[in-house]
Each structure stands twice: as C-alpha cells, then as structure tokens.
C-alpha cells in the first residue's frame, strides 16, 4: 500500500503483533489489507475506548426467539417476543440476548447453517432490528463450529473451495487423549467425501463440525460476520464455546494462546467498527480458567460468572453461605472497562466444572442427588482418561429450588426470589433467563420428545396460556414476575449496584446469612446486601454492619426505616434486605 490511510496505520499498529502470533509464516501486510478491505465500510470516526459503557441500569434477559409463540400461528415468534417484552418488561430490562436465531440443524440453534440469515420460522432481520431499536441486542457468534449441513461443509465434502480448506481432518490413529472434552461423543467423526472417508474434528456433536482457524480465510469469514451483526444492531456479541477455538495435537486444545490472540484481534476490530459494542466470552470452565478471558484488559469486555449458578444453588439447598463466601472473596474486581455477567440459569444446564475445587465431595454428591430428586437430569463429559464425569445439571431453576437437601417444602417462591436477589446484587451485569422470570417448571415432555436433557429448561410458552397465568395474581408465574420486576426496578436506581462498584464480603458468625457490602463509585452510597439462606428466621446485629450513625438507613426492599443502628435485623426464611444510606426516590 503506497499511501496508507491513518485508519490502515492504526489497524497495522493494533493487529500486526496478534497476526504474527497466529500466522507467523504469512505476510502480515497482505493479511492486514484483507482485513481492512472488510471493515473499511464500517469504520467509526471515533474508535476511542469507552470504559464507562454500562451502569446499574443495564439488565438483560436471555431467551430463544420462540420461547413464546402464538398458538394460532398468525405471527412470527419474534413479533410475539417483542410484544411480550413491551407489555411486561419494558420498564424492567434494557437488553435481550436472543439465542441463535439463524437457520440451524441441531442443538436448538448452535449448529448454524447460515450465519447471515434469520431462521424464517422465527421472522426476518426486520424483526430483529425492531427489537434492537428498543433493547440492547446480544447476538451469538458461534465461531467454533458449523452445521454439517452448512454450505461450507458441503463444499468440504465435494472438495470445492473455499469450504474444502475450512475444516480439521485428522488420522484416526492419532493420539488425542490430551484433548479436553465437554461431551462424551467421539472427537473425530467420519464423513464420506469426494476424496474418500475423512475424519473431521467435532468437539460437541457429529453435526457440529469444528472450523480450522489456522486458515486465515476462516478468520476473515468471521470478521465479515461480526461486522454484519453490528450493522444489524448488535450491542453485545457472545463468542460461543470460544475456549475450544484453536486446535493443536498434543495439547488439551482448550484456552490455547492462539485462542486468546483471536479474541484480542476481534476486540480490536470491533473497537474500530463500534467501540460501544461489547464482546462476551462463553467459557464454562473452572473459575481461574474463566477469569483468564479478561486478558490484560484487552480480551473480553464481559465474562460469564460461571461459578455463581452451582454455588448459589448449593448454598440455598444446604442453607449455608460458607462456600459462596470463600468463592466470592477469591473473585478479583473486574478491570475497569470490563465486567462480570451474572446469571443463575440459561438455555444450557447448570455447569459443574466451574464448581470444581469449591465444594467438598459430600456436598457435591448431595447437590447431584437433590437435583435428581427434584426431577433434574445429569449430563456427562468424557475425561482424557476415558472416564465419564458429571458436566452439568439439567433442571428448571425454579424447580431446583422447590426444597432443600431435606426435601420439598413450602418456601419455593421465597427461596427462588432470594436466589435472584442475590444474583442481581453482585458486582456485574445481571442476566435473567426468561424462564426464571416466568417461574417455568421442568419440561419433562421435552426431554422425552427430543432425548436431550437440556430440553427440560427450554419450554415454549403458548402466548395465550402465558397471559392467562400472568393475569392470575396467585399463580407462581405472576407472583415471581411481579416481585422480580419490582426488585429490578429498585436495583436500577442504585449507584452502589453499578457493575464495577466496590464489593466486600462480610462475615457474620451465622452461616445461614450471606452478607456483602456494595459502595458506589462516587463513594456516596453504601448498600448492605443481606440474605437469609435458610428455612428459619435469622437475626443479624446491625452493629456487625458498621452503619454510620450520622446517616439515615432504610431497607430498600421492605421500605422499613432503621431508627436504631444498635438494634438487630430479623429476617424471615429466605428474606433479603438492601440496607442503604441513600434514600431511593
């Protein structure tokens, strides 16, 4: 390039070191030119990083495009979803993660056939953009693998370009024993091709074929897709299963340095396209490994708080806060410009790997047994030695909390509300699974129909039936949605719940209590987040909180004003309190 533009020079400065770690034998100038050609039409005038692009006001909901449908089939599910959001959550949430809404062949959307199209059974890009106009849209970039029915894989089987070079073929006699697996299916899958039988890498299923990012052209394809999603309104881009991205035989093939380089490169590209968009990495792994995806504040803007769901569930089933506190004290504050994404349930199960080393064996087994007693399933993965190990719990979170290790009791709704209140109190951005907001029960018929354990938490509501339930103020669905919506609206007004506000674990002697302190970034508001994890009333001496005598104090949840800071707080079973010095308006 004879007279490179300032934008190209910026791109060169940012990407050259990363490209050299990924493609050391290639000519970086040629690679940079190809990337620049893709992103030049999308370049922003101001690519300066915004370290303050979220606040306590950000609340997400996670849903499939057809989690609610019109039983008469008179409208597309994305239209039904938009109407539901407007009618019930307009003043509650600010963003929506619509799980993969592309044409697919399996895994409820995560075996993508066409990345640039909307599944016609759901709607069109027009419906996606309509939702994105009113809600911050999160979209999935499923970049580890594609459907075996995708055009790229069809080209692979026919020996045609470009797809013939997009996949990883391995001699089946190769030793892959070190490869870390999230499933118990074979890592290599045979396919008949024009060039004979070939064994391709498939981390997740025989229908989800892994892509070969050591081929620069594959990276280019996903830069194109990333830029397109931003133009369609995405404000968050979720990198699905990104930890498995790079393959190198003789290694575990997870969290490799090249994978981190690809994430950094995508972040730099995104920064030049739209610095307001956030990258989020989905890495359902032990906590220390998960934290590595912040990098040096140069990889993911957001990471899922994967250890929270199993630890919080266990704490409420056991009625004890000790393991939850131990984990919480080990969590570093997210770097400025980064944040945790807090969640307790999602379209997947409750991952068990993030709890490794955090629960003793007795409690771990008790957790498994209790979930099974409440109608849940356990999914397994294959370990490098060939043995099977529990990978995730499959259950509706609402039904997982229908009792404790002692059995079913009358506190299901209170316990569930406590669980969600803790989640939205923690440092980070809260993300509520739609079925949590709706207190959806186990979908056992879905498991029977599909043979997939995860279907138990992927119920599709008839819009008519859902409205009927929500109009009945005594139904658990209406009660949970109303109370969670009230709490979320209170939370959104509190500076101390900013995703990067100070968080400090407190240590009352009573293990049934879980207590922590949040302080606003301006240091003008404190909130003591207090939770009774047990089925019995519990007392907390207010002197344990060190309330400042000169400030007025009130519980935001109950509205009770504290007149004597030397008194004690009595919490009913599973009651939560947000004790603050800044009176909510």
Which amino acids are annotated catalytic?
A: 240
Contact between 156 and 193 under an 8 Å Cβ cutoff? The reply is yes
Instruction: Give the residue from 149, 101, 98, 151 showing the smallest Cα distance to 121.
Output: 101
DSSP code at position 483 = H
Distance between CA atoms of 61 and 130, rounded to whole angstroms? 16
Contact between 503 and 333 under an 8 Å Cβ cutoff? The reply is yes
Distance between CA atoms of 561 and 569, rounded to whole angstroms? 11
Residue with tokens 């070079």: 165
Residue 60, classed as helix, strand or coil, is: strand
Distance between CA atoms of 478 and 227, rounded to whole angstroms? 40
DSSP code at position 347 = S
Instruction: Give the residue from 570, 425, 403, 584 showing the smallest Cα distance to 490.
Output: 584
Question: CA torsion angle for 291, 429, 259, 48 (degrees, to 10)?
Answer: -110
DSSP string computed for 113-157: S-TTS--TTT--HHHHHHHHHHSEEEEEE--SEEETTSHHHHHHH
Tokens of 258: 């090249």
Residues forming beta bridges with residue 407, ordered by sequence position: 404
DSSP string computed for 511-579: TTEEEEEEE-TTS--EEEEEEE-SSS-EEEEGGGGT--TTS-EEETTT--EE--TTSEEEE-TT-EEEE
Distance between CA atoms of 160 and 153, rounded to whole angstroms? 10
Contact between 409 and 403 under an 8 Å Cβ cutoff? The reply is yes
Report long-range pairs for 519-526 (Cβ below 8 Å, ≥24 apart). 520/494, 520/495, 520/496, 520/582, 521/495, 522/495, 524/495, 524/582, 525/494, 525/495, 525/496, 525/580, 525/581, 525/582, 526/496, 526/580, 526/581, 526/582
Kindly tell me the sign of the dihedral angle through the C-alpha atoms of 317, 184, 396, 327: positive
Distances (CA, A) of 169 to 195, 247, 265, 344, 541: 12, 11, 26, 37, 64
Distance between CA atoms of 289 and 109, rounded to whole angstroms? 26
Distance between CA atoms of 370 and 367, rounded to whole angstroms? 5
Contact between 55 and 427 under an 8 Å Cβ cutoff? The reply is no
Contact between 6 and 45 under an 8 Å Cβ cutoff? The reply is no
């Amino acid at each position: 390039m004879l007279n490179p533009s300032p934008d190209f020079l910026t791109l060169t400065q940012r990407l050259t070191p990363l490209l050299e770690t990924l493609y050391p034998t290639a000519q970086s100038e040629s690679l940079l030119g190809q990337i620049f050609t893709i992103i030049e039409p999308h370049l922003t005038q101001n690519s300066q990083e915004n370290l303050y692009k979220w606040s306590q006001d950000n609340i997400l909901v996670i849903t499939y495009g057809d989690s609610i449908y019109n039983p008469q089939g008179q409208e597309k599910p994305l239209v039904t979803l938009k109407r539901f959001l407007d009618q019930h959550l307009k003043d509650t949430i600010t963003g929506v993660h619509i799980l993969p809404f592309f044409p697919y062949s399996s895994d409820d959307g995560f075996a993508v056939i066409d990345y640039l199209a909307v599944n016609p059974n759901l709607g069109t890009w027009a419906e996606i953009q309509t939702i994105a106009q009113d809600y911050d849209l999160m979209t999935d970039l499923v970049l580890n693998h594609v459907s075996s029915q995708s055009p790229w894989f069809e080209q692979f089987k026919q020996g045609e370009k470009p797809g013939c070079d997009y996949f990883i073929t391995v001699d089946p006699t190769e030793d892959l024993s070190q490869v870390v697996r999230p499933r118990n299916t074979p890592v290599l899958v045979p396919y008949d091709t024009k060039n004979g039988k070939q064994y391709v890498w498939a981390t997740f299923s025989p229908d989800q074929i892994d892509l070969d990012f050591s081929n620069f052209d594959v990276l280019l394809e996903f830069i194109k897709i990333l830029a397109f999603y931003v133009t369609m309104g995405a404000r968050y881009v979720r990198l699905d299963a990104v930890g498995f991205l790079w393959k190198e035989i003789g290694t575990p093939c997870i969290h490799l340095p090249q994978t981190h380089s690809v994430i950094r490169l995508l972040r730099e590209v995104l920064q030049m396209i739209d610095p307001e968009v956030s990258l989020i990495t989905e890495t359902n792994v032990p906590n220390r490994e998960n934290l590595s995806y912040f990098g040096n504040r140069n990889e993911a803007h957001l990471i899922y708080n994967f250890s929270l769901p199993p630890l919080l569930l266990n704490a409420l089933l056991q009625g004890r806060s000790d393991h939850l506190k131990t984990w919480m004290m080990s969590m570093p504050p997210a770097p400025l410009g980064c944040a945790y994404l807090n969640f307790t349930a999602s379209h997947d199960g409750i991952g068990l790997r993030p709890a490794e080393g955090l629960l003793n064996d007795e409690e771990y087994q008790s957790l498994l047994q209790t979930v099974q007693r409440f109608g849940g399933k356990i999914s397994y993965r294959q370990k490098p030695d060939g043995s099977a190990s529990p990978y995730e719990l499959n259950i509706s979170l609402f039904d997982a909390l229908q009792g404790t290790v002692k059995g079913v009791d009358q506190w299901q709704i209170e316990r569930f509300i406590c669980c969600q209140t803790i989640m939205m109190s923690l440092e980070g951005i809260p993300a509520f699974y739609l079925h949590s907001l709706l207190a959806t029960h186990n979908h056992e018929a879905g498991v029977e129909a599909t043979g997939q354990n995860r279907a138990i938490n992927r119920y599709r509501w008839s819009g008519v039936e859902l409205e009927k339930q929500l109009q009945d103020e005594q139904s658990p669905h209406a009660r949970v949605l109303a109370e969670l919506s009230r709490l979320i609206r209170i939370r959104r007004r509190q500076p101390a719940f900013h995703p990067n506000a100070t968080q400090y674990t407190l240590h009352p002697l009573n293990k049934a209590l879980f207590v922590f302190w949040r302080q606003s970034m301006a240091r003008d508001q404190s909130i003591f987040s207090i939770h009774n994890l047990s089925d019995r009333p519990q007392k907390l001496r207010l002197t344990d909180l060190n309330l400042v005598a000169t400030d007025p104090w009130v519980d935001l949840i109950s509205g009770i004003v504290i007149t004597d800071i030397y008194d004690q707080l009595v919490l009913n079973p599973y009651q939560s309190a947000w004790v603050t010095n800044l009176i909510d308006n």
